Structure 1
């Protein structure tokens, strides 16, 4: 969970010709599958992609991440650049001690768009409890990856490894039975 503070601001209202003072607003945010699903329902496009998001999309995602109750809608207009940077750093955190070794062979490009529904499908497929939809998204995706890797079939031996294994077995048998061939 991330706590941010949107500072109070003094603004000039040109229409009414008066100063407007906003109150400081404290927000509790959670980058979770629930937040992503809310955002995708509104914007009708995948949240998880390499495309840059507009300012409106970023501000709306902060709104979707908010778990603080009764937040005035206009307070999101006063998010500072520092607030946005703090949110981006939080979104990028792994939130787990699990790590994976990457091999050059494994680098493949998966063209499938990752959406909230696909992640829910993975959760259901692996019998991951629905409470996990409120976890930090990176932690949930790591758990899904662990399930996926642990459920992979055993790696088949390469032809060369198979030949080496057979040669070792044959050599052991020749020695054991005192044979030449």
Structure 2
């Protein structure tokens, strides 16, 4: 979870000709499958896709990430550059120490990942639905680990099998002192 503080602000109300003072506000944000689902159900497109997002879509994702209750919508207009930098760093953080080799190999092959696809993977690997509240990167890493651990062992080529058998035969000839 990320806590950010939206700074206090002072505005001039031209209609009433008075200053309006807004207090600083602390927001608790969670980048999770739940927030991803909320955003995708509103915008009807993949958040994790390569398509650029508008400022409105990005701001709305921050709203979807917000756990703090009863937030005045005006607060989101006061997000600072530092707030956005902290939010981006939080979204991009791996939130795990696990590093998979297949991550580096699969960089060229990407399908569009949507919340429904992630839920499908969770169901396929019997991952409890409570994990939808995990940081999204951590959940995706768990899914990758399940994929690696559940994949069938790699088949060896004929050359690899011949070389392996030749090495075993050579070791046995040496061990038993035979010539053939």
Q: Secondary structure at the match of 1:170?
A: helix
1:35 to 2:35 alignment: yes
- CA drift at 1:53: 2.0
Q: Which residue of 1 aligns with 2:68?
A: 68
Aligned residues: 179
Shift of 1:179: 4.2
Residue 79 of structure 1 is matched in structure 2 by 79
Cα distance in 1, alignment partners of residues 65 and 131 from structure 2: 15
Q: What's the TM-score once normalised by structure 1's chain length?
A: 0.89
Q: Supply the distance in 1 between the matched residues of 2:83 and 2:163 (Cα, whole angstroms).
A: 59
Of 108-117 and 135-144, more deviation after overlay is shown by 108-117
Residues of 1 paired with 2:54 and 2:103: CA distance?
A: 34
- Cα offsets for 1:59-78 (capped at 9, x unmatched): 11110000011111121111
Counterparts of 1:174 and 1:86 in 2: how far apart (Å)? 65
Q: Tell me the residue number matched to 1:9.
A: 9
Q: Which consecutive residues of structure 2, in runs of 5 or more, have no partner in the other structure?
A: none
d(CA) in 2 for partners of 1:97, 1:143: 11
Structure 1 alignment gaps of length 5 or more: none
TM-score by length of 2: 0.90
More helix by share: 2
Structure 1 residues 108, 70: CA separation in 2 closer, same or farther (over 3 Å shift)? closer
> Post-superposition shift, 1:155?
1.0
Distance 1:103 1:84, change over 3 A: closer
The structural deviation recorded for 1:111 is 4.2
Task: Please provide the CA RMSD for this pair.
Answer: 2.0
Counterpart for residue 114 of structure 1: 113
Distance in 1 (CA, whole Å) between partners of 2:86 and 2:16 is 34
Q: CA deviation at 1:131?
A: 0.7
